[in-house]
Structure 1
Amino acid sequence: MRKKNEDKKSSSRKIRERNEINPPTISMRKRSSLFMTIVMSAVFLGIAGWIFYLSVIQNKFYQAKANDYHFGTIDISAHRGSIYDTNGTPLARSASVYKVYLDPKQFRNEIEELQERIDEENKEKADGTYVVPTPDKDENGNEIPIVPLPESAEAYKQETIKLLSEKLEITAE
């Protein structure tokens, strides 16, 4: 038993002596610091690159996923009925509710694109190069009617607001 303890002490003493004999030199410390700096920089650049890839390159994909998640229609088909108090006064009634969201940026872009198409069509009509489009046919052979462009993008905008206000029974502001 004593022999084993002496062997353990001597081995730990040997390790200590070896470290005291060959302590790390300045160049060894610089190399290890440089190595650690390179490794940490590579990890940081990898994470930064991944964040750039997700936020810039895959932007459209994740924007579409977010819009699909946030916007949509929820149909509640059952009429829930009214709740009355003991005197017969209604406390709660079922009502139809409409929530309409409009992305101003997307609407503005669509209005600008529409105005460009209207301007292009008017220019072609003025030049005499305008060709009346022929209707396409669907899979059953029926003609798909061509919807003419509105007079102006502003007229289309006003018509859209009017249609929404009529359908939703609200006043346009």
Structure 2
Amino acid sequence: MRRLILGGTAGAAALLGLAVWAGGEKDMPPLAFMGESVDGAVLERGREVYAENCASCHGAEREGQPDWRRRLENGRMPAPPHDETGHSWHHADGQLFTITKFGVGAVVPGYESDMPAFEGILGDDEIAAVLAYIKSTWPERERAFQAEVTGNVEGGS
């Protein structure tokens, strides 16, 4: 199986990433993103990139903005949570990647969002690492559901 690897990470960062990943249920299958297994170094990098680029809107603990289901005055929706209370886990890996890279309008034509497209800001490996990190924080039920959706939509992961 191929591995999603980011260069330049130290052993300590890899161990911290594994601790984040291993913090969930012990019987959970290995974490994968778009069919590639994910290691602790990737998760640590994802945590860092999330903190630098996503937490200001989606929350340091992935809790989203207050009242995230109610439209703002500009007609747009607040940033949803990326924990189990949100809906990120309802979407396949490829959809999450496309939304992050190209914006929500890439999967819902005409949809206007305050979330920027990260193309040209984050590289594909950084986007994948952030999404893998987010997935690593979901409880077993949500991860299993999302893995099934990913498998059904993308032919396996």
TM-score past 0.5 threshold: no
The answer to which structure has the higher helix fraction is 1
Query: What is the TM-score normalised by the length of structure 2?
Result: 0.23
Kindly name which structure, 1 or 2, has the bigger radius of gyration based on alpha carbons.
Answer: 1
Higher RCO, 1 vs 2 (CA within 8 Å, ≥6 residues apart): 2
